[in-house]
Amino acid sequence: MSTTMTPLVIVRVHELALKGQNRPFFKRTLFENLRFALRDLPIARLQERALRFLVRLEDPTVWPEVAERLRWVFGVANFSPGVETALSIEAMQQGLVEVLERQGAPAASFRIRVKRTNKNFPLTSPELERELGRFVQKRTGTPVDLSDPDVTYQVEVLYDRALVSGQSIPGPGGLPIGVSGRVVALLSGGFDSPVAAYRLMKRGCFVTFVHFHAYPYVRPISIEKVVELARHLSHYQPPKNRLVVVPIGDAQREIALAAEPSLRVVLYRRLMLRIATAIAHEEGAGAIVTGESLGQVASQTLENMRAIGAVTDLPILRPLVGNNKDEIIAEAVRIGTEPISRVPDDDCCTVFVPLHPATRVTVEQAAAAEQAYDVEALVQQCLARRTVYEGDPFRWDPLMALAAATA
């Protein structure tokens, strides 16, 4: 009889995130993101029930693949494989038998945790925990350990059914992508900027990636890396991926001819930020994200950040500002961007610049230096040669951006 229960995966969200006015929007967005993440798997049904999402599997063997997909869906606090049962102690016991059959007996110890949404159920949570605990102990011979068990079985008592599940697996947390709007992330190919973009994705933002390169003055590796990074990060976002690749080598050369060497890095950055701002307005993005970390390199001083930031009317978000390189790289390893970022490339900001760029450029100095060339014209020239990638990142061809840069 145990085989008649539909296998399912119970997906839980942080309850705090579900409070307040945005709740319906949050739930709808997460529902759509889950549906997208699981789109090609044999899923009988995806349902939202009492602040949980239930994924009914056509067959329990898809569980590992479902688990792999759920690891990438922001807003998921944790999830566990289980079954749905009727609202009786016998049915819950039968559900536990099913879970035990599928996962094997608990190793050294276990506990049962009951969560009772339905306060009318005749037993209280502690009573039910004891009752079901005794049952599992008798069946498996494994002792209960309330403080540090190997496995925690969860029984969630809802109004019309109970959910019985095994050990839960942590999800990525955060907010579902889409609830916080769109941002433009400046993606360089280094370690920092993909981590910065990830942080904003985790706070519920769609990210449009923007990359600047100096090809044909340098090798085109950074473009290949950025396409690869966008592919990797797209595992987290539903299909609204966008990458804009902008050639700025010619503009940099013009700036280099007109401006004092020590100011060039700041002037390049001001150009990048002006272009990024124009793109952000087109994209309907509310902010620009960078991987800057205070004091990490010469251009990242408070003075230079101010001189660079002065050219945009959008907030610049620097989620890594207080992190050091080790912390950032550790996070890059965790999210999987590190092996891509590690590949050596040519940084466009090092084209035509001295070994020791100025660390304290004022807004006035930068603006004065820009009198020597037509900044607005450079912005327009660069924008005119951009390549916009959208849709499925696995179809994006880096050669397109190369062709546009030399056209």
Residues lying near Mg ion in the complex (CB under 5 A): 188, 190
**Which residues ranging from 209 to 248 are in contact with ligand ATP (CB under 6 A)?**
210-212
CB closest to Mg ion, residue no: 190
Q: Is 386 in the site for ligand ATP (CB under 6 A)?
A: no
352 torsion bin: left (phi>0), alpha (psi -120 to 50), beta (else): left
Q: Quote the CA–CA distance of 83 and 115 in Å, as a whole number.
A: 15
To the nearest whole angstrom, how small is the minimum distance from the Cβ of residue 258 to ligand ATP?
21
To the nearest whole angstrom, how small is the minimum distance from the Cβ of residue 395 to Mg ion?
26
Q: Which is nearer to Mg ion, 293 or 365 (CB)?
A: 293
Q: Which is nearer to ligand ATP, 123 or 314 (CB)?
A: 314
Q: Quote the CA–CA distance of 352 and 348 in Å, as a whole number.
A: 9
Q: Which is nearer to ligand ATP, 157 or 273 (CB)?
A: 273
Locate 328 and state its tokens. Answer: 């950032």
To the nearest whole angstrom, how small is the minimum distance from the Cβ of residue 338 to Mg ion?
14
Q: Binding marks (x or -) toward ligand ATP, 310..349, rule CB under 6 A?
A: --------------------------------------xx
Q: Quote the CA–CA distance of 269 and 267 in Å, as a whole number.
A: 5
The answer to whether the CB of 288 falls within 8 A of the CB of 182 is no
Q: Is 191 in the site for ligand ATP (CB under 6 A)?
A: yes
Q: Which is nearer to ligand ATP, 186 or 307 (CB)?
A: 186
66 C-beta neighbours (distance < 10 Å), count? 21
Q: Which is nearer to ligand ATP, 53 or 191 (CB)?
A: 191
Question: Which residue in the set 187, 263, 266, 308 belongs to the binding site for ligand ATP (CB under 6 A)?
Answer: 187
Q: Between β-strands 43-49 and 52-57, what pairing exists: parallel, antiparallel or unpaired?
A: antiparallel
Q: Is 74 in the site for ligand ATP (CB under 6 A)?
A: no
Q: How many residues bind ligand ATP (CB under 6 A)?
A: 19
To the nearest whole angstrom, how small is the minimum distance from the Cβ of residue 270 to Mg ion?
17
Locate 297 and state its tokens. Answer: 């390199």
Which residue type sits at 45?
Answer: R
Question: What is residue 129's three-state secondary structure?
Answer: helix
CB closest to ligand ATP, residue no: 190
Instruction: Please provide the distance, in angstroms rounded to a whole number, between the alpha carbons at the two ends of the chain.
Output: 69
Work out the burial of residue 171: count CB atoms within 10 Å of its CB; fewer than 13 is exposed, 13-18 middle, 19 or more buried: buried
Q: Is 192 in the site for ligand ATP (CB under 6 A)?
A: yes
Element housing 229 (H / E) = helix 221-233
Q: Which is nearer to ligand ATP, 18 or 310 (CB)?
A: 310
